[in-house]
Amino acid sequence: MLEAPIQAQGKSNLVSAIFIFGDSTADPGNNNYMKTPFKSNFLPYGKDFLNHLPTGRFTNGMLANDFIARYVGVKEYVPPYLDQSLSIEELKTGVSFASAGSGFDPLTPTISNVISLSKQLEHFKEYQEKMEAAIGKEKTQNLINEALFLVSAGTNDFVVNYNTLPIRRKNYTLSAYTDFLLQHVQLFLQELLDQGARKIGMVGLPPMGCLPIVITLHSDNAFSKRDCIDFYSSIARDYNSKLQNKLNVMQIGFAKLGSRIAYMDIYGPLMDMILGYKYGFEKANYGCCGTGLMEAAFLCNPNSYVCSNASKYVFWDSIHPTEITYYLISQAFQPKIDSITK
């Protein structure tokens, strides 16, 4: 069994920088600067991070994107764009614009007052202006063209929005809502392309029915029988299938511009860990923090019970993976990263 913290083996000069968009799976602390309950800038979050520092990452240590940044050889950790203390040199090698609680549906980020995907794009444009002022327009454009872009969102659209609130369900069947989201995915990716992105990785949805909080909320007896709720995982499978088809079609147009876009499968690797207890995990249906049934964000706090060894758990809280899980996911992504960066 691998123990955290873990070092990822780096490759040099695969890309110029790394830029991240999405939700809590990709937010290293942007929500620290927002008035929202979706924060994690307090212990026990970050207890296994450098200097045991809670940064705003929704896990005990590093995110998959931090490991990926090391793998492509650009930096040790991906910082949040909204951190005003970042130097030009730090900005130059990439940042995350992601915001916990966000999603592709414009309604989703308004539920928890977080940064929408469209606002994340605005921040990226603002970033480019900063870089142009510092290093010039041509160097900035080259930087963007040679950078790796990763997008990870969608879970909140279903778990927090569609399946919890009645607004979208009144107007969309589940299949129609999936198509609605994918239209927004396409628009988002097209905007990235228009802004100069040429190497894009698009992360699919995880097996949502296996998130501890979903098991807790949708089981007849969540204390004794904690099986994955396949209905919610089937939503993810359908979405992922349609997403792959859409990306294949988009790639035809992308290729004409010398761009590459790849589907990053998180569903399969996570399912291997959850159902097969692959890699020696001992707990897959409870989080490490608190009871492991419901705690996330402010419910997982300095007063919460914390398991003695997070590396034996797939999930850190009731929603988010542990650092070791993120490390293994980042490893699973490496062949796709190679395919768009080489």
Catalytic residues: 24, 317, 320
* Angle at 100 (CA atoms; ends 225, 124), nearest 5 degrees: 150
H or E, element range at 156: helix 155-156
Strand, coil or helix: what is 199? strand
CB-based burial, 59-88: b 16+ in 10 Å, e otherwise: bbbbbbbbbbbbbbebbebbbbbbbeeeee
Query: Would you call the peptide bond into 44 cis, given omega within 30 degrees of 0 as the criterion?
Result: yes
Q: What are phi and psi of 264, to 5 degrees?
A: -105, 115
Strand, coil or helix: what is 241? helix
Strand, coil or helix: what is 85? coil
Contacts 24+ apart (CB under 8 A), 253-260: 254/193, 257/193, 257/198, 258/198, 259/193, 259/197, 259/198, 259/199, 259/200, 260/198, 260/199, 260/200, 260/339, 260/340
CA 327, CA 6: separation in Å to the nearest integer?
Answer: 8
Helices 174-194 + 117-135 axis angle, to 10: 10
The residue count of the chain comes to 342
CB 276 within 8 A of CB 213: no
CA 98, CA 40: separation in Å to the nearest integer?
Answer: 14
Q: List CB contacts of 213: < 8 A, sequence separation 6 or more.
A: 159, 293, 294, 296, 318, 319
Query: Tokens standing for 83?
Result: 């951190």
